[in-house]
Amino acid sequence: MVGGWSEMAFRLRRKEAVGTGIRRLLVGAVEQARDELRDEALPAEVRVHHARRGLKRARTLVTVLERAFDAEARDERLALRDAGRALSATRDADVVAKTAHDLLDGAHPDDVAALSRLAAALTERATAQRRDADAGAVARALADLSKRLDAVSIRKRRGDDPLREAMTMLYRRGRRAMERAQRDPSDEVLHEWRKAVKHRMHLAQLARRRFAAATPAIVEALDRLADLLGDDHDLAVLQDVLRDEPELAGERADAARLEARIGARRKALQADAFGLGDILYGARPRVFRASLDHPAPLTESGHAPSVVLGAPVA
């Protein structure tokens, strides 16, 4: 279960028309985000996290139907982006505080005091950020957005398969993003690759078992890659905090030592990410596209063949 919406629910129904199903899921994703923000039974940080996940799924779906939308409907992508940005400051504050807390587990004894000071300061800052945020206004905006999306007209061009086109486009986009990250593993470039991976993961989840490149094993592998890149990004943000505000950790020497340890951890995460990326994005786009013409086979171990995962054909 992710947020209040099961993973099973985020997929096309059997024999459901692609356009109809994607619009249904698009409206559902926005309504999920709205409901999460209003659910006072959940902690504030959980509500924001779940809502942002729903909005990211919705943005993937808009990408899928972009060519079929009327010009006015494409503007809703901007509305989704703005809603996500309205929640991002709160989410970022929560994540960086949690990252500092998580580093306390298994921390070097020399780092415990500095990490404790840092985590406490960031937790206080996150609490203040949540207090100042107006999640209610975002929820109201999402309620209006879901009504507009439900009324969107979708055109289907003859012989056009928006799902197939989107699978290929997102694969190509993710492969290019990985290649850029291999040349320039800067924080910004790595984060762009993560966003591309998340889009492909959401689409594979949506098209589960319709294509050989959308098996549960591939969804799981993409989710793992997104997590590796997400953990790296969270540590990068924490490094920025230590550079800009070393006093939060105590002495400047404490901040420098923590930053160095975080840097070592990031190198290990990036190595794992690039290794998994070579498997998931190793094939040329035309090879990947050709794999979409086959059913979704699994090996005896339950995993998709390497050519479907994106590995080069031996």
- Are 79 and 207 part of one and the same domain? no
Record the tokens describing residue 96, joined without a space: 């960086």
Domain that holds residue 33: 1-158
- Are 119 and 132 part of one and the same domain? yes
- Are 59 and 168 part of one and the same domain? no
| Chosen domain end from 158, 178, 196 | 158
Q: Give the chain's mean pLDDT.
A: 82
- Are 232 and 306 part of one and the same domain? yes
- Are 220 and 116 part of one and the same domain? no
Binning pLDDT at 50, 70 and 90, where does residue 153 land? low
In sequence order, the 6+-apart residues with CB closer than 8 A to the CB of 246 are 252, 254, 255, 256
Record the tokens describing residue 134, joined without a space: 């107006």
- Are 77 and 166 part of one and the same domain? no
Binning pLDDT at 50, 70 and 90, where does residue 157 land? low
- Are 95 and 168 part of one and the same domain? no
Helix ranges (DSSP H) in the chain: 18-38, 44-64, 71-103, 112-132, 135-150, 162-183, 187-206, 216-244, 252-280, 285-291, 306-309
- Are 12 and 23 part of one and the same domain? yes
**What are the C-alpha distances in Å from 223 to residues 8, 26, 46, 73, 299?**
15, 20, 19, 29, 20
- Are 2 and 108 part of one and the same domain? yes
Q: What is the DSSP string of 216-263?
A: HHHHHHHHHHHHHHHHHHHHHHHHHHHHH-GGGGSSHHHHHHHHHHHH
- Are 148 and 205 part of one and the same domain? no
pLDDT of residue 304: 44
Prediction pTM value: 0.80
- What secondary structure letter does DSSP report for 311? P
- Are 18 and 154 part of one and the same domain? yes
Count up the domains in the chain and report the number: 2
pLDDT of residue 294: 65
**What are the C-alpha distances in Å from 189 to residues 178, 184, 185, 192, 260?**
9, 7, 6, 5, 21
Average pLDDT (165-186) is: 94
pLDDT per residue over 243-271, tens digit each?
999 999 999 999 999 999 999 999 999 99
pLDDT per residue over 186-218, tens digit each?
999 999 999 999 999 988 888 876 787 888 889
